[in-house]
Amino acid sequence: MAQANVIKASARSAGGKGAARAVRRTGNVPAVVYGGDESTADTIQIDSNDLFILIKKGRFLSTVFDIDVGGRVLKAIPRDVQLDPVKDFPVHVDFQRIGADNRVRVGVPVRFVNDALSPGLKRGGVLNIVRHEVEVWCPADKIPDHFEIDLTGLAIGRSMHISAVTLPEGVKPTITDRDFTIATIAGTGGKDEDEATAAAAGAPAGDAAKAAPAAAGGGAKAAPAAKAAPAAKEAPKGKK
């Protein structure tokens, strides 16, 4: 399960665009913490280098942080990060306050294991990932690090659905009306797909390849063309 990380921050007294630009000139990033049991938002500032490192570590938007604002700790999860369109550095962050009993909506990454034990991948199939992460509702203090899918024994044409994923207690997908697909093992149009098609039709393996003779060279000989019927003789001309 994901554990809370600590962010050092300091309070800022003023809001607005002008105040935010002034914060950025000091090498900090303006941020706001809202929601929870408090009606007012906390306006804070975070060192830009510290924040940049946390974002580059990955899973920033699905990590619970303990924000230390001068000794006062705010437990929150990032909800939005605004980036500079040119330099790609963070320029503002929105955090949502959470409690231990709160549930949050987050995306959890999916990992695939034992690909070497998949017959479909061994025969040249391709793992087609439909969802790199699954969005779930879960307790704020029990966010899964990732979901794991075992590829052992899976052949070409097989699909992996959310029902194949073991979800921790209290974790539920946000999509509940269908058993949605996470990934499939697709063929590449080769021999394996011919065998799969023949097996699906109930034919012995290899019959599909023998069914049609080669267009040129090898294969069954073409039947001889039927002889043309002799041309009808011209009727003799009548006597005058």
Q: What is the torsional sign of CA 151, 152, 157, 159?
A: negative
Query: Average pLDDT for residues 109-115, to the nearest whole number?
Result: 94
Token readout for 121 is: 């991948």
Per-residue pLDDT, 159: 95
DSSP label of 87: T
Q: Are 44 and 69 in contact (CB under 8 A)?
A: yes
Per-residue pLDDT, 62: 86
Q: Are 9 and 71 in contact (CB under 8 A)?
A: no
Query: Average pLDDT for residues 24-52, to the nearest whole number?
Result: 90
Residues 6+ apart with CB under 8 A from 142: 1, 168, 170, 171
Token readout for 138 is: 């879960």
| Residue ranges, CATH 2.40.240.10, the chain | 5-99
Closest CA to 65 of 143, 132, 13: 143
Distance from the first to the final alpha carbon of the chain: 115
Per-residue pLDDT, 155: 95
| Residue ranges, CATH 2.170.120.20, the chain | 104-192
- Three-state DSSP at 134 gives strand
- Three-state DSSP at 149 gives strand
Q: How far is CA 21 from the centre of its chain?
A: 36
Architecture of domain 5-99: Beta Barrel (2.40)
DSSP label of 40: S
Per-residue pLDDT, 189: 66
Assigned CATH topology for domain 104-192: RNA Polymerase Alpha Subunit; Chain A, domain 2 (2.170.120)
Residue 93 CA to residue 95 CA, distance in Å, equals 7
Residue 13 CA to residue 51 CA, distance in Å, equals 20
Q: What is the pTM of this model?
A: 0.63
pLDDT tens string 178-196: 999 999 999 886 544 545 4
Residue 140 CA to residue 100 CA, distance in Å, equals 6
Per-residue pLDDT, 99: 74
* Cα–Cα distance list, 206 to 193, 196, 216 (Å): 11, 10, 20
Rounding to the nearest 10 degrees, give the CA dihedral for residues 68, 143, 56, 80.
-70
